[in-house]
Copies of this chain bind each other. A is one copy, B any other.
Amino acid sequence: MPASSIRARVRAEMIDEIKAVARRHLATDGANLSLRAVARDMGMVSSAIYRYFPSRDELLTALILEAYQALGDAVAAAVAGPDRLDLRGRWHAACRAARDWALAHPAEYALLYGSPVPGYAAPDETVEPAQRPPLTLVGILRDGLAAGRIDPPAEVLPEPVRADLGELVAAFFPGLPEALLARGMAGWTQLFGLISFDLFGRLNRAVPHRDAYFEHQIGLMADLMGLPA
């Protein structure tokens, strides 16, 4: 008796192939990719797809999970590249990795960070992978603070904000000043905004040299977060 029966093996390969074909369709059709078209591309009848994914939304969820995984891995790998205390280098590397991944997989990025798909509600299993990129970014600040290379911001946060961020600090970065977390989240927000504007064509006419623009704007946020030059 094989550890995985022939059936199970074939089934796993089928699922992988469906996801691969669906990813291709995602690039042209966005979130309303067609199961029938995927089935056609695979030489099967549409109803057969439902043996592997009980609905179109489940297929979407699988693609979303894989995309989060890929983006999270890319950012994590980038952040681990430079010396641990080269804060600015790590910040830039992480941001660049996120943007590069997005430019290489625009449809998947849009699926993750674009408008929510009308009838679709992201299941809970997506929340943890979705948190990885911002957590990785803020991790740079944690490291810098621990090494004494970042001075925590002087400002005191107004109350409801401090309490909310305090919960996040307690859960993910014990000891991190809330004001520093706030600046880290600003950096993450800016990164998302820069990538989205770029990808969704908002800079098309205005800024021809988008790589350089991105690097500079990312550097501005590094200043705001207090990363030493």
Given contacts A32-B32, A220-B186, contact A200 B115 (CB under 8 A): yes
Which residues of A (171-213) have their CB < 8 Å from a CB of B? 182-183, 185-186, 189-190, 192-194, 196-197, 200-202, 205-209, 212-213
| Best-surrounded residue of A115, A116, A182, A205 (most CB of chain B within 10 A) | A115
In the bound complex, do residue A164 and residue B115 qualify as a contact, i.e. CB atoms below 8 Å apart? no
- The SS class assigned to the A binding surface is helix
Size bin of chain A's contact surface: 35 or more
In the bound complex, do residue B182 and residue A118 qualify as a contact, i.e. CB atoms below 8 Å apart? no
In the bound complex, do residue B216 and residue A182 qualify as a contact, i.e. CB atoms below 8 Å apart? yes
Given contacts A190-B189, A190-B193, contact A157 B28 (CB under 8 A): no
Give, as a whole number of angstroms, the nearest-CB distance from A206 to chain B. 6
Q: Which of B130, B168, B224 contacts A224 (CB 8 A)?
A: B224
In the bound complex, do residue A32 and residue B118 qualify as a contact, i.e. CB atoms below 8 Å apart? yes
Given contacts A205-B127, A224-B224, contact A213 B116 (CB under 8 A): no
Chain B residues whose C-beta falls within 8 Å of the C-beta of A118 in the assembled complex: 28-32
Chain B residues whose C-beta falls within 8 Å of the C-beta of A185 in the assembled complex: 217
List chain A positions with a Cβ less than 8 A from chain B: 28-32, 110-111, 113-118, 122, 127, 130, 157-161, 163-165, 168, 182-183, 185-186, 189-190, 192-194, 196-197, 200-202, 205-209, 212-213, 215-217, 220-221, 223-224
Known: A164-B209, A189-B194. 4 other contacts (CB 8 A): A161-B212, A168-B207, A189-B217, A190-B190
